[in-house]
Amino acid sequence: MFSLQKLFGKEDRFQELLEAAAKESHESVRLVIELMKSPRNSQTYDDLILTRRKEKKISEQISSELVQTFITGLEREDIEALARGLYRIAKASEKLAERLVMAGKHIDGLDFTMQAEMMAKATDAVHGMVQQLRDMKDLEKIKNFNDRLQLVELEADKYMNELLREIYSGKHEPLRAMIIRDINELMEKVIDRCHDTGVVVMHVVLKNS
């Protein structure tokens, strides 16, 4: 049995900050999914930028407090790696949002339902994994979240290959084809960032089990 609560302490500051960062990263992905449904919704884009700033501020706070703290529940490098992974999820979401807004009419009529579902599954899994670090009585829940992440990444790779075949077929005019590929690669990157963060969580859990 393993509980990071024993390592962190009941009210560990870094545990709280990592959970806050996970929450904002999760919200960034949720908002970019909303933007995928309605790319011209400026309010959604503004909300995403605000969420991204919150996550960035938390990441900077973690770095700052690590410098000032002598003893930490987890190894410093693990805290930094987790914070960096969550930061990259939010950053990838922001990059995707920027590209969706820039694409404008060129993505009219495109269906991003499949990509949205995969991104949602990936960020839900990461959020759940970080939350489970608070007080875990066994490893099964976090392993299940990690299994979901692995499956989503495989689905994303398969979908991207199918998309490339469609693009190479000449179905779309050149500019639209380029934009479709660019946007879908950024969507895949969000999923990859979630997967990378999941790997870090599993590393931390296994090392401390």
How far apart are alpha carbons 202 and 76 in whole angstroms?
A: 16
Per DSSP, the residues of 155-195 read: HHHHHHHHHHHHHHTT-S-HHHHHHHHHHHHHHHHHHHHHH
Over the stretch 127-141, which tens digit does the pLDDT of each residue have? 999 998 876 666 888
Domain positions in the chain: 10-207
Residue with tokens 């309605």: 38
- Fold topology of 10-207: Methane Monooxygenase Hydroxylase; Chain G, domain 1 (1.20.58)
Secondary structure class of 45 (helix, strand, coil): helix
Determine which of 11-15, 65-69, 145-149 has the lowest per-residue pLDDT on average. 11-15
Burial class (CB in 10 A: 0-12, 13-18, 19+), 97: buried
Q: Would you place residue 165 in the very low, low, confident or very high pLDDT band (cuts 50, 70, 90)? A: very high
pLDDT on residue 20: 96
Listed in sequence order, the DSSP H helices in the chain are 4-8, 13-37, 42-68, 76-103, 113-132, 140-168, 174-207
Residue with tokens 């973690």: 62
Over the stretch 74-90, which tens digit does the pLDDT of each residue have? 788 999 999 999 999 99
Residue with tokens 């309010």: 43
How far apart are alpha carbons 116 and 80 in whole angstroms?
A: 28
Check if the beta carbon of residue 20 is closer than 8 Å to that of residue 58: yes
Q: 182 vs 37, 83, 166, CA distance in Å? A: 17, 27, 14
Q: What is the pTM for the complete model shown? A: 0.90
